[in-house]
Structures are given as structure tokens and as C-alpha cells.
Structure 1
Amino acid sequence: MLRVGAVTACVGIFLAGADFAVTALIGNQTARQLGELSSVALRRSEAAIDSAGVILNRLAIAGGMDCGENALQALRLHVYQGTIIKDIRTVDRDGSVACAAYPETLEFDNGWARRDQMFTSADGQLRLFQVEQFTGAAFGVLRDIDAQRSLAAILRIDGNLLDVMPVGLRAESHVTLTLPDGEQVAGYHPDASAKPPAQTLAFSTTSDRYPLQATIHVRPQSLSARHDMAYLLTMLAAGMLGGVFGLLLASYLNRPVDPVAELDRALAGNEFKPYLQPIFSLRTGDVVGCEMLARWEKPDGRLVPPMSFIPLAESSGRIEKLTWQLLSTALRELQPEMRRDKLFKLSVNITPRHLLGDSFIDDLRQVVASSSVSTRQVVLEVTEREELPDLDKATDVVKQLGEFGFRVALDDVGIGHSGLSYIQRLGARTLKIDKFFVDAITRDQSAVVVVQMLVALARELDMSLVAEGIEHQAQVDALIACGVEEGQGYLVSPPLSLPRFKQFLEVRHAVTGAAQIKQPELAA
């Protein structure tokens, strides 16, 4: 792993350096090119305004726009033959329209800009504004005739003018034309419904004649030179050099790592964290407890599942220290909830070897006592997957635990080493039905029979039952029909870290409280 890590790190460093160098070389060139393209878009827009200004100026010199039908007909022909102007209107100083080349376009207007909302050109001859229409924003140019009347042209500035991007960047860019207040009066993208993404690079050019700014918004990744052959060759060479350097470095650093020493380091660093999965009532959904599970949170953020370290912890004798460390943390963090709800129980997995240890009971009592939690709220789950080496001693330990108030549960019932005599002799107070039977209960009648037998056995021995691995409501219904009362599984929640589990409980309490308040109101 060290050799792989060293090589990977060196290759990454060399590639990052090469990428930075190549990017730095082409960055200025790309910015200059896109800046020039935004200038092209702006010049096209200025030309459109110039064209409209010429027409409005010609009409103003002639005394304005004659609202007679013949004059409007001639004007409509003029507008129709053009490519820039969609409509020309005579407007009063307050913005009311006296007449329009195409009166039907007035139906699209949702409002008209006031003069104080318009922006004046550098020579003072024209005013630019935005017209809100239900089909979208339109761009207008206004030219005064006299102190009372003005001419307004509604322009057609669209993709024909703003489509300036090369083919390779067209789909990854947006071109916009905006007024000084930031309002967009025109824009272009091949997909007309698309909007500029949140993260873009912007290249803008501002007009020195009109209050306009053309901006090209480009996705940063679209400017990458990664598809350029020179870039690829450079990165290939950098990767090879990094790999060679990494191998040389690894030859000095590569030493075997002792996995047991790694466990000791993790224990000393409190890297093992308790994760909690709720145990709930099948009928009401109320959370009645939780099972504590171990997770290894590495300093780099990786989460190591229990099967990757629990067997080593057991075989190396570290499981006892690991268990007490996790249990202490869980009891300390859950103490407020356990003291608020005296029926809330925390279950912890105990290996048979740990259960039969000479100081197990004393150590357990000390850990629980330090948390000020009742012993009746702690459940010890002994797995059936591993055979108890000394059943007589185990029976005696379970008896002593019961005398101190602890409850013992037999985990993975139905697939392990135990038989009926084993369950009866051990004296456990809870049976946990293995996920194997829960998975099959909705499709295999034999699984239903097994669960019904376990329910009958639990009632005969005055034991409680918990079903594990519940993922679907159909399984809940089948378990209830068999007589099972409690369960756990992803249907309600996966194992959660302590902070997330406490948030989960807060939400459940809030929902339950709201339901209790609402129920009397409904009765009334």
C-alpha cells in the first residue's frame, strides 16, 4: 500500500504541476480570444441599435410617425423587409402609445419602462430600455421627437446576432446582453430554455457608446485543453516521470505495516466510533432502543466496515478494549435520552470469549455506573454464529448479569450453533431473528413456520423477540402476523453516527408529540 501510495502521490504531483504549467500558458490566450468574441457580440448589437437609430432619426426629422392607415401600412412594409426592428411606436412622454406599426404587439406588453428607468446613449440621442412581455423580455430604443412625443423601436436581437461562439464551445456557453442595472435584454444558447450555470467564467465587453455589456459565460471545464494533443503528450510524459520518481521514493519508504499496531494506533486515537441503528415497535413505529455497531473512521475520512477489523480485533485480544471504548462513548452521549425514557435500551454485541472473561462483569458494571444509566437499559447481544466454549460458565455469567439488572439477548437465532436446550439453559431474555428469515418471510412459507416456532418458544420461555434486517413494509406486516413485536432495519433507518442518531430521535419525538397533540383535537 505504501508503494502504491507513493507512486500515486508522485504521479499526482507531477500531473498537477504539468496541468498548472499548461493551463498557465494557454490561460491568457483563451481569455483574450473570448474577450474578442464578446466584443464581436457587442459590435453586432451596437450595429443593430445604430440601424434602429437611423430609422427613428429619419422618422423624427419627417415630423414623427403619421398614424394614418396608409402611412402605417408603408411603415409595416419597411419593418417587414428589415431584420432588426419588430415594431415602431409613437409614445407620449408618460409612455402611453399613440399608435404602432403592429398594434397587435401591444397585447404582449406587461408594462412599459418609465423614462427614469431608461438608459441614455453617450451622445444623448437614444434611450435604451427593456419591455416586459409575456413571451419574454424585449429590447427597446427610444428617440424623442419633441417635448411631448417620442418614437420607440422594439428590436429583434437574438441568436442571429449573439451566436459568436465556435462550434466546440457553443453548447457549453451562454452569450448575454445586459443593461447597466444587470437586466438581460438578449441572450443566446443552442437550447433556448437553458440558463447559465451557477459556476461559470465570464468574459465581458462594455460599450462606450451605449449602456450595454456583452458577456460570454463559459463552463470552466469546457476551456480545458485536455483534448489537445500537445496537452495529452505533456501529461503522459509528466505521468511517466512521476511514476519513476514514485517507485524510487517507495523503495526507501516501503516497510511492512503491522495490522495489530495499526489497531492499537486507532484505539489510542479514538478512531473507532459507535454507530446506532434504531429498534422500533412494529405496530406503532415508536423507537424503543438501538443497537450499537462499530465503525472505523480513518483520519482521511474513509469509513471502514466492521468485517474489515472486528475479526482481527477478536483474534488479537483488542476486542475487549474496543467494546468498552465504544460503549462508554455511546452511554455518555445517549444518557439524556436514556434518563428521559427509562424503557429505552442500548444493545451492544459481545463475543462469547469476551462474555466468559474473568473480569467481564466487573468491567461492565464499572462502565455503566460511570454513565449514570440504569443497568436494565443495557442489553448484551451474544451471537449464535460463534459457539460458546463453556455453556455452564456462560449460563452462570448470564444469571449473574440478570441479578445485576442487565438483559442478555441471543443474536442471529436460527442459523447458528444453538438448539432449543441451548436457548433454554442460557437464560437469555431476548431472541433476535436473523435477517435470513426476515428476507424470506414474504416469499417462503418455511420461513414463516420458523418464525412462528420462535414466537411460540419465546412466549413459552417468557422472552421478547426482535427481527433484524427489515427493509420493506410487507415484512413488517408478515412479522406482526406471526406475533413478532419489535424489529430493526433500513426500513426505519440505517446505522447512524451519534450526532445523526440524536437528530433522528429529535425528529421522531417531534412527530410523536405533534400526533399526541392532534389526537385530542380530533376527538373533540
Structure 2
Amino acid sequence: MAGQSLPKISRRIATIVLTAALTALFVAGADQLDRRLTMAFKRQSVADLAHNALTRAEIATDYAVIRLGMLYENGHTDCSPDAMEAINYAVFRSGTIKDILTAQGENVCSVAMHSETLLENHRHPVDTVQARNSSIALNPVRLDNTPAMAVTWLFEEDVLATALVNTESLVFDLLPADLRETSAIRLSLSNGRTVGRFTGAEWQIGGETEMFEAASERYPLRVRIHVPTAVLSQVPMNRSAGTIIVVGALAGLLAFLVARGLIPAPNAASRIRAALRRGEIVPNFQPVYAVRTGELTGFEVLARWPGETGPMASPAFFVPLIEANGWSDDLLETVILQTAQTMRSVIDNVPAVSFAFNASPAQLVEPGFAAWLERVLNRAELDARRVIIEITEREEIRDVEKARSSIEALKAMGIDVAIDDAGTGHNGLASVQRLGASILKIDKLFVDGIVQDERAGALVQMLVDVARQFGMKTIAEGVEDEIQLNALKRLGVDEVQGFFLCTPLAPEPATLELARHQAILTRNRLQARPPEDKAMPLDHDAGAVAVNA
């Protein structure tokens, strides 16, 4: 018996040893996976920081270009008293523009304390680089012994204006606490000249680092962030083996699910085409609210593709495929027709509510786009005066004059045109002035950081100021909490939308949300009318309305 039990004991020991070895191997693998995931996450976070810094620099440059263009259009480049007052106002209204110089023939003037810097730059510009618009040039200057940037617009042969931009302020607060002491960020022109930088107190030149870079398409601007490799590879020391195992298992499952969701099937395009023909891609409606009155002013119409048995397909999956195959007009037509059918009670009974539909820059510059859209709206029996066309930033507007002509035709029909994601895409704020749109939409990117980042608030204020200068309405997207909402109120944003206020809804819940919201506003007005100078708070219960309500 004892002899027979020995093999069993040996097998048990072998099993235990093998199990321990496999467990150790799995834990080690999970640990390496955790480290790699941590490093990948940190790398992506720093890469996002580089793009955020570039966006800041682009918007500051856009704002300078717009201010210079307005001075020229209003005849304020001749150094007259009116011109000096206009220059002073432009500098005073901006947080990043420290001075402006205008030159018209022999008349050269500026108003602020940095006149000598701009005059010297005007006489002897150094390392100038042209923007995509060859009339605009950027070059490095010194502002109070720190790097800065001059933005010059040559309007005519002997007429120009230059803005002195404080680019240092765009990068000094960008790095988070865990990178701020050990890393460095540099904003430069495409010729390598530095125009803004921040260096942590413990930053060591020559150490082993990784570089993250982002470059502008519109301006000769480039951002580089240098982070020590050791900082990127640091992982928390309080992890348990169980945590590592769970992280490893979940990471594998997550990678499988993400890969399965992101990689389209070989017949994806044909399935999308069939879905368009059968009307399976349907509209959802996200309410837009007026900040001061709390009224529901309209809906952004969003294309959705419900799965037959699985979850709803993401627009990030099917919209790019639709655009790539030239079916954008089909998508817009089916969404408009279904909106008119499913929201008929709202269309017939609530004339003040608008509907915003998305269109691409490629559609906007198509010959006859406005006439085609008019025919679709007539079929849908939808008044053009209740329609907003949002021009997305997924691609560059390659022919601004054609786009402007198309926008003028749309406006003649009574359609308002909105520039979506202003300042974050290919076209920039400088195109706003030339396009003549009616609405400027502030991207969620800026709303997200409006509370924690003072610079984000300044950028939103800049967008609001630009919109007001051109007589445009502002709509902020992606509002996720009351703090963001209150900050947007203070900055003067006109309208807001986001999950905090209400999620995108199917037609019936959207109609109920409108009726409920109107009833609440009517009740509030009857109970106690607020003072005229006090903003009526939005009713945040709207966010509780579910799609399947």
C-alpha cells in the first residue's frame, strides 16, 4: 500500500510544482503585460499632451490672424487715432497677444509696452517661416527675455500687421504633476527655432528620454515633449499578484473585444450600403439648450445603426466608410427624411425648435449641394428655416471660395451653417471669417479642461469673442457636469449640449423630453419669474431620460 501511494504522492507533488511554476510564469507574464500597458498608456497620454499643446498654439495663432485681419478690413492700419484705439482694444481683449504693430507705407505704429520689440522685428525679421497661407509668416522673437512669436500678415505690398504672441504661456502649465519636474516641452517653428518652452527643475539634458511630437498642417508650428524613459516605465509598487492576474486576464479579454469591434468585416461596406437602402440607419436626437433661459432650442440629429441582435454600431465605424465610398448624400437624405417622419408632431406644433444635420466639407463644395438639399427638404416637408447644417472637421475644406458660395446659397434658403469642432480640425479659426457661417461649435476637448485648466477657459473665451465679432452664436458640446455648465455661462456661451443635460434620444423619448421641458419652464415662469439679469438655471433632470423611456 505504501509503495502504491508513492506514485500518487509523486503525481501530486509534480502537479503542485507544475501548478506553481505555471502560476509564477503567468504572474510574471501578467506583470510584464501590466508594465507594458502602463507604459503604453503613459506614452499615449504624453502624445495627447503634445497634440493639446499644438491645438493651443494653433488657436492662439488663429486668434492673432483674425485680429490682424479685422484691423485691415476696418482700415485700421494707418496709425490714425481710430486705428490706435482699435489696436489697443485688440490687445486688451486678448490674453496671448501682447502688442500689435501696423505698417502702411512709412506709417509704422504700435501701442503697448513691447513697441521696441516689434519695431526691431519689423526692421530686421529673423528666421521667418511662411504658413500654408503664404501671406502669413511666423518668426521667433524675445518677450521679456523669454521665447515668443511674431505673426505677420502681409495684406498688400506696403501694408502689413504683426501680432506679438506670448507662446510661453501656452506651455508652462501643460505638463501634469508626475511629469512636470522631470520633463521638458518645446514649441518651435518648422525651421527649429524655439518660440515657447517649459523645462522641469529635475530635467537632465543628455539623459535617456523619449520624444513625443505633433506638427501643424496650417502653420509652421511643432511641439516636442521629452520625457525620461525611467519615468515612463515606472509602475505603482502596491500591486498584489491577484491584481496583476486580473489585469492580465481583463487586458486580454479587452484586447479581443476591442479588436473585434474595431476591425470591420470584409463585407462591411456592402452591409452599410444595404442598411442605407433599407433605412436601418436611423436618427437620434440630442437636445440643445439655451444657457440664459434654459429653453430647449433644438436637436442635433445623429446617425445611429441599431444592431439586429447585438449592440448599436458606433458612428466611428460606419460614417467614415460611408464617406470613403461617396454615400454621404445618401446618409444625409435618409436621416432628413426619417427625421421629418418620426418628429412630425414637433415639426408641426413647435416651430421654434431647430434640427442640426451633419455634412462633410466634401459635400459642401459639391456643385449644386444647396439645390439638392432644397429638393430633399421639400420632399420631407421640412422648413429650411428650421435646419442647421453642421460642417464637420474630419477633412480639410480644400476650396474655401466654393464653400463660401455654398454657404451663401444655404443662408439664402434660410438655413444656418455651423462650424463644428472649431479650432481642433483641419481648417482652423482663420477660415471662420472667410466662410461666413452663423454658428461656432466649441468642441468637447476645450469643455473637458475648462475647470482644471485656466488656459482652456481662456481658449473658450477666445472662441466666444471671435464668434461675437462675426455675429455668430456659440454652442458648447460635451457638457458633463454642473461645474462645466456654470463656467460656460460665465464665459458667455449661448447654448450647450451634453450628457449632463440629456443623452441622444430616439424620436419618441426626444418628443417627450421636449414636452416635459416645456412644461417645467412654464411651471417655473408661473411660480416666480427671475430678474431679467439673472440666468434661469437649466433643469438637469433631462439627463435622466433614457433612450428606451
With normalisation by structure 2, the TM-score equals: 0.47
With normalisation by structure 1, the TM-score equals: 0.49
Q: Which protein shows a greater Rg? A: 1
